[in-house]
Structure 1
Amino acid sequence: MKPVLEAVSLSKDYGKRGFRNHVLKGISLKIMPGEFAAIMGPSGSGKTTLLNVISTADKPTSGQVFIDGKDLFSMSNREMSAFRANRIGFIFQDYNLLDTMNLEDNIALPLSLQKTRPKMIEAKTKELSQILGLQDHLKKYPYELSGGQKQRGAAARALITDPMIIFADEPTGALDSKSGRDLMQRLEWLNKEKKNTIIMVTHDALSASYASVVYFLEDGKIRFRLDRGDSQKEFYDKIVQIQASMGESL
């Protein structure tokens, strides 16, 4: 089986000559289809930079990223924009819902921009709203929703184009513990039942324990890889132990 995403010797520097900050230091990574991968590490370890580069939000200083065998950074800007719109979904910490649209229209927006047939948009919106427990909130505006409802709406919007990969940046960071667990349980279900490939940056051990594999970054390099077994509790305990050994606050 070929990886859905492959990063090869990724480096990322910021700053000018003489004042260079080497954030990523030759990272190589393979994500297989249907995998749920979490990326963790102390503050300043490079985890958000890595997510930005592999999700096409930023370009590496050197190295390559392949998604579905395509060399992303050899694409033209137009090709890259089309690739993002059709093959990649994003879930952000701050939801990024449009206040002038109700939840239904926010979820449907990516398909509307692609001029998808209205009946298909309606069917997809209904399906995802039921999966994510939003069917009673579709006519509400973002200011009428709880944080958990907003984030589940953001997840539905990310999923509506049937993307090859979902990238999630601290998706539970702005949520209370109950809403965070609810979101992670739904993402885990989507991964297991719908075979969605998910790559998530998180600082939270509990959120990471819903993934199938965790990569731990330190000083711009991958230091550990931890695979989940049958027990989520044991996986969580191991994540906490590695965090403690790396000096990361929980």
Structure 2
Amino acid sequence: MQNVSRPHPDVRPISVTLDSYSLAIQKRSLTGRKSIKVSVLKPINTTFEPGLLNVIMGPSGSGKTSLLNMMARPLPSRIGTQYELGGRVLFGAAIPSASVISSVASSVSQDDDALIPTLTVRETLHFAAGLRLPI
């Protein structure tokens, strides 16, 4: 059995850098006319260092989930919505391909509608577990 607490000898820790990384959304009306472009994330410059606790903090609606989603996978444009990403993501000093990013990155978003605001974290987990138990 392999000890999972030790890094694999072939795995090299790398930093992840956001260089002027930004997101804007262009929505079309039903008639096909373009509406104004809305900036969701202004350009971000930061580096996430390996082996350290890296935290993304901000108030509700500040773009934390949008940032994580766009870092983990391409945002699918649709007929009425066009996403415009700016800047770049660097793994070390290299620009990774979409397949590399999807093989090492993931994101799980929070579903606020599923939370009961009066419950503690422990009570929420107990309640959710109870819903999944067979009767």
TM-score (norm 2): 0.54
2:45 aligned partner: 28
Which amino acid letter does the alignment assign opposite residue 22 of structure 2? S
Structure 1's unaligned 5+ residue stretches are 93-168, 182-250
- Residue 55 (1) aligns with residue 66 (2): no
- Residue 15 (1) aligns with residue 32 (2): no
Query: 1:8-157, aligned counterparts within 5 Å?
Result: 8-16=19-27, 17-58=34-75, 61-72=85-96, 75=97, 80-85=98-103, 87-88=104-105, 90=106, 92=108
Distance 1:65 1:49, change over 3 A: same
Tell me if the contact between 2:73 and 2:101 (Cα under 8 Å) persists in the aligned partners.
no
Moved over 6 A (4+): none
Identical residues among aligned pairs (%) = 28
1:222-247 per-residue CA deviation (whole Å, 9 max, x = no partner) reads xxxxxxxxxxxxxxxxxxxxxxxxxx
Superposition RMSD in Å = 3.3
Distance 1:33 1:20 in 2: 35
Which amino acid letter does the alignment assign opposite residue 44 of structure 1? G
Larger Rg: 2
Shift of 1:70: 2.7
**SS of match in other structure, 1:30:** strand
**SS of match in other structure, 1:70:** coil
TM-score (norm 1): 0.32
Structure 2's unaligned 5+ residue stretches are 1-12, 28-33, 76-82, 126-135
Which amino acid letter does the alignment assign opposite residue 4 of structure 1? S
Aligned length, in residue pairs: 96
Distance 1:170 1:56 in 2: 17
Of Structure 1 and Structure 2, which has the larger fraction of its residues in strand? 2
**SS of match in other structure, 1:37:** coil
